Structures are given as structure tokens and as C-alpha cells.
Amino acid sequence: MEDILKVKDLHVQVRTNDGSATLVQAISFGIKKGKILGLVGESGCGKTVTSMSILQLHDQKNVDIRGSITLHGRELNGLGNREMRKIRGKDIAFIMQNPMNAFTPVFTIGHQFIETIRSHTGLNKKQAKELAIGVMESVNLPNPAKLLKNYPFQLSGGMLQRVMISMAACLRPAVIIADEPTTALDLHSQSLVLRLLDKIRSEYGTSILLISHDLGVISEMADDVIVMQHGRIVESANVLKLFDHPQHEYTKKLLRTRPTLYFDKQPYTYML
């Protein structure tokens, strides 16, 4: 199986008044169809910079991106904004950490959902609404027609995140980039979101780049894992191999810092 998304020798530098600063360097990985690749590391290690580079969301005036980023063999690095807007949402979907940031507060959920569909398809408003309702029903969101009439602030964070994932999945993109999709949610909502992502992967064959600092989420969801530190990849392995036999000292340190509960002097690792 060939890689659906392939990143090769990615370097990202930002220009400042004091010169250039390197954000990530020598990043290379690939994701095959229907697989979940976990990207882990502490805050500031370059995880989000990498995802924004794939989506070409950096300010091109201040940020230099070198290397190759291909989707189905098509080079994305260097594409103009008009071409990338055709790709974002349709071929590569993005799920943000804070769902409130993904919606405009002055428009209803339905308005934004329907406009997203229509911007990438030839469907009319009625057809787009039917598609939106169908997708929301398929992921067990209650009363989709009513939800579409609500404004973002009227929904809980967990519900809003599930709506955002429905929007990401409605056009069956080849790749979904999920950047810390469960960080701001309670445990029940986290479970619902993770099950929803897994359902999309299994039913649509969508590849997922799952960015998280939560090793419990990664161990449950990912097929393969990349560990980043200081803008570099320090280890890459199958999820079982990485958790059972970590090779790099930084990976071992991350695994040791997982929350543990103690009972009768016996440690128990707390896994989400």
C-alpha cells in the first residue's frame, strides 16, 4: 500500500527581527489508507507546526517551508491559497483542539455546515442540508435538524466537537488531521469523540494524523507513532513496539510521566 499522505525532509523556519528561527527540521513520515498515525511530544515540540505546514496555513511572508508534502502523489508545498482552499476540507480535513475556534459565533451551525458542503460540491442548499443531517444521524448526534438551527455557543464543547468531526467527515476526505481533539473535553465526551474518529476511519477508509500529548489516547487509537522533541523526530515505531520497547531516552521519559494511581503500594497506570 502506498502512502496517501507523505511528508519528506520537512524544514520550517520563521523570520524574526533577530534573524531566522528553526521550528521543525528533517521531518519525514507517511500515512497509509485507513491508518491512524499518532504524533506525540511535549508542548512546543513542533506537532502543530507540522500539521499547519501540511495544510499550508503558515504566513508565507514570515515562514519558509522546505521539503516535500504530497497527497496522492500531488505536491502541496508551494501551492497558492486558491488551490489549497479546494483541498482543505475536501481532501484534507482539520479538527481543531478548541471546537469554538472552528465556528463563527454569529452564524448558526447549519449555515456553516451547509456552506462548507456547497463550497466543495455542486449540491444546492436543500441537498447540502440533507447530506449534513444524514452525516449527523450516522454518528448518533441527537435531533440533527434542531442542532443545525443552533448557534455554536448553545452547544457543549463535546457536542460541538462531534459536530465539527461530522463536518470534517461529510465529504469523505482522504486525510483528517486531528490536533488534540480531546484535550478540552470530559472523559465521556473524549470517549465519544475517539469512537467517532475510529468509525470514520473504518467505514470511509480515511487516514488520520492524530496529534496528542495524551499517551492513553495514542495507545488506544494509533497504528503507528512518531515521537517529536525540539522540532525533530526522535523515534518512530508501531504503537505496540513503542509502548512495550521504547528505544529513545526521551520516549522512555514520556512513558514514565504517564499518570499513575497507587493502591497497596502497587502502581497502576491510568489509561484513557
Q: What is the pLDDT of residues 118-150, one digit of tens each?
A: 999 889 999 999 999 998 888 888 899 999 999
pLDDT on residue 259: 59
Q: Mean pLDDT score of the chain, rounded to an integer?
A: 88
Return d(Cα 37, Cα 69) in angstroms, integer.
16
For residues 66-93, give the mean pLDDT. 92
What phi and psi, each to the nearest 5 degrees, are found at residue 182? Answer: -115, 5
Which pLDDT does position 96 carry in this prediction?
84
The dihedral region occupied by 28, where left means phi > 0, alpha psi between -120 and 50, and beta the remainder, is beta
Q: Specify the pLDDT at position 263.
A: 41
Task: Band the pLDDT of 61: cuts 50, 70, 90.
Answer: confident
Phi and psi at 108, nearest 5°, equal -70, 160
- State what percent of residues in the chain have pLDDT above 90: 54
As given in the structure block, the three cell numbers for residue 7 are 511528508
Given a contact cutoff of 8 angstroms between Cβ atoms, the answer to whether 46 and 29 are in contact is: no
Q: For 20-41, how does the pLDDT look when each residue is reduced to its tens digit (9 = 90+)?
A: 899 999 999 999 999 999 999 8
Please check the confidence at residue 192 and state whether its pLDDT lies above 70.
yes
Asked whether residue 269 carries a pLDDT value surpassing 60, the answer given is no
Average pLDDT over residues 210-222: 89
Percent of the chain's residues with pLDDT above 70: 94
Q: Evaluate whether 216 touches 9 at the Cβ level (below 8 Å).
A: no
Of residues 28 and 256, more confidently modeled: 28
pLDDT at residue 12, as a whole number: 95
- For domain 31-46+81-269, the CATH architecture is 3-Layer(aba) Sandwich (3.40)
Those residues with Cβ within 8 angstroms of residue 174's Cβ, 6 or more apart along the chain or in another chain:
4, 5, 33, 71, 72, 91, 92, 206, 207
Expressed in percent and rounded to 5, the helix, strand and coil fractions of the chain are: 40, 30, 30
**Sequence spans of domains, the chain:** 31-46+81-269
Task: Output the pLDDT for position 262.
Answer: 44
Per-residue model confidence (pLDDT) at position 271:
45
What is the Cβ-side half-sphere exposure of residue 245, based on CA atoms within 13 angstroms? 3
Q: How confident is the model at residue 261 (pLDDT cuts 50, 70, 90)?
A: very low
Is 272's pLDDT higher than 80? Answer: no
pLDDT score of 110 more than 60: yes
DSSP per-residue string spanning 216-265: HHHHHH-SEEEEEETTEEEEEEEHHHHHHS--SHHHHHHHHTS-EEEETT
C-alpha 50/C-alpha 52 separation (Å) is 6
Tens digits of per-residue pLDDT, 75-88? Answer: 999 898 889 988 99
Confidence of residue 161 (pLDDT cuts 50, 70, 90): confident
Q: What is the pLDDT of residue 16?
A: 84
pLDDT of residue 141: 86
Confidence of residue 72 (pLDDT cuts 50, 70, 90): very high
Name, of 36-40, 181-185, 218-222, the range with top average pLDDT.
36-40
The reported pLDDT for the residue numbered 2 is 86
Nearest to 70 by CA among 174, 204, 210, 180: 174
- At 186 the pLDDT is 81
